């Protein structure tokens, strides 16, 4: 099967009148390991309309995380383009891409990756401080966001004093701090037990209902089922979605 043949364009079934906030066209990503070239993505095209909630699923090594990295402008495609909120991020210089990520993209990682030396509130403040927001404003917004994720009472606690679910909630608050166009999550329930995972799934549902565009990469069937639509991947290709 060629990459062109395999490329599927994801339909925007229940949000037909919304503009696409993500437009991926012919995304290819090759990695060279010595003389061997691994094709992680083989020409992926799809759109995500604003306000959508997409789950990217598929077996390990099928290219889900690679796709997420390209959408998040932390990696560059070998070929193809990624337009986020009207801006092509695929060919941006590092400085532009960094600034773009800061203002337009929220990341949630499987292992939370909070700064261990900062409190929950300071972790949420970090992207806002980088964006140049005043201390008073960012503290107020960090408190609002922690309140939103149900952790207002834990703002002074360090990550080591929080449970896994609480840490992931702080990470979600951090991802939302600069009001991103999309929130990208890579296995956000992967490190959590079922009950805590369900809480995070509920929080994502709430976020989406409140207007946040979400793209999650997951093996978690419950999380994938909570999304508006699923994109199935295999061998670097979208096979359904």
Task: Using CB under 8 A, list all residues that contact another protein.
Answer: 65-66, 69, 72, 74-75, 94-95, 98-103, 105, 107, 109-111, 113, 115-118, 122, 125-127, 129-131, 174, 178
Cβ at position 193, least distance to another protein in Å: 19
Phi-psi region of 45 (alpha: psi -120 to 50; beta: other; left: phi over 0): beta
Cβ at position 55, least distance to another protein in Å: 19
Q: Please say which residue, 49 or 127, places its beta carbon nearer to another protein.
A: 127
Q: Please say which residue, 68 or 226, places its beta carbon nearer to another protein.
A: 68
> Quick check: 52 and 19 in contact, CB under 8 A?
no
Compute φ and ψ for 85, nearest 5 degrees. 50, 40
Cβ at position 106, least distance to another protein in Å: 9
Q: How far apart are CA 114 and CA 230, in angstroms?
A: 28
Q: Please say which residue, 29 or 230, places its beta carbon nearer to another protein.
A: 29
Residues 6+ away with beta carbon under 8 Å from 25: 45, 80, 81, 82, 83
Q: Please say which residue, 102 or 152, places its beta carbon nearer to another protein.
A: 102
Q: Please say which residue, 130 or 144, places its beta carbon nearer to another protein.
A: 130
Cβ at position 2, least distance to another protein in Å: 26
Compute φ and ψ for 151, nearest 5 degrees. -125, 30
Cβ at position 98, least distance to another protein in Å: 5
188 burial via Cβ count (<10 Å: 0-12, 13-18, 19+): buried
């Amino acid at each position: 099967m060629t990459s062109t043949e395999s490329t599927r364009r994801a339909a925007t079934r229940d949000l037909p009148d919304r503009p696409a906030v993500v437009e991926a066209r012919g995304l290819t990503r090759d990695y060279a390991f010595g003389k061997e070239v691994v094709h992680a993505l083989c020409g992926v095209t799809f759109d995500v309309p604003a306000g959508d909630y997409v789950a990217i699923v598929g077996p390990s090594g099928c290219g889900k995380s690679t796709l997420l990295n390209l959408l998040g402008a932390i990696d560059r495609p070998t070929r193809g383009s990624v337009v986020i909120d009207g801006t092509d991020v695929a060919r941006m210089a590092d400085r532009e891409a960094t600034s773009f990520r800061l203002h337009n993209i929220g990341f949630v990682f499987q292992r939370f990756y909070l700064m261990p030396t900062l409190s929950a509130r300071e972790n949420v403040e970090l992207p806002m401080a980088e964006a140049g927001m005043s201390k008073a404003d960012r503290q107020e917004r960090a408190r609002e966001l922690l309140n939103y994720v149900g952790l207002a009472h834990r703002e002074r606690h360090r990550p080591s004093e929080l449970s896994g679910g609480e840490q992931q909630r702080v990470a979600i608050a951090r991802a939302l701090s600069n009001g991103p166009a999309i929130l990208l999550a890579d296995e956000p329930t992967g490190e959590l037990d079922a009950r805590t995972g369900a809480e995070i799934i509920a929080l994502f549902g709430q976020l989406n209902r409140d207007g946040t565009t979400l793209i999650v990469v997951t093996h978690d069937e419950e999380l994938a089922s909570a999304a508006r639509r699923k994109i199935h991947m295999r061998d670097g290709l979208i096979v359904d979605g």
